[in-house]
Amino acid sequence: MFQPSLSESALILLLVIGVPVVFAWLGLLIQCANAPFKSDGDKIAWVLILLFLGPIGAVIYLIGGRARQIRPADSEKWIV
């Protein structure tokens, strides 16, 4: 019977957890770069935080960065 070694188990764990984390981080980085902020300095700061802190920066951005974005009015959300 086949039993994976520790390195194979670590690789599987890395793929199962690491790949979704990287894709979520990249998605937040793209969303941050495209979102309107109250000032350009805020946008640059958040992009740098996301770039240099990686997934930890993504958590920080989810907690505090999205609140600094400019929200569209309700009438602007849906284009018919």
| φ and ψ at residue 37, rounded to 5 degrees | -115, 165
Contact 49, 57 (CB under 8 A): yes
Query: Residue 69: pLDDT above 90?
Result: no
Residue spans per domain, the chain:
22-69
Q: Is the pLDDT of residue 56 over 60?
A: yes
pLDDT value, residue 23: 94
Q: Answer with the residue of higher pLDDT: 8 or 26.
A: 26
Rounded to whole angstroms, how far apart are CA atoms 42 and 36? 10
Dihedral sign for Cα 48, 35, 42, 61, please: negative
Three-state SS at 73: coil
Rounded Cα distance between 51 and 29, Å, is 8
| Residue 43 DSSP SS3 | helix
Q: What is the pLDDT of residue 77?
A: 57
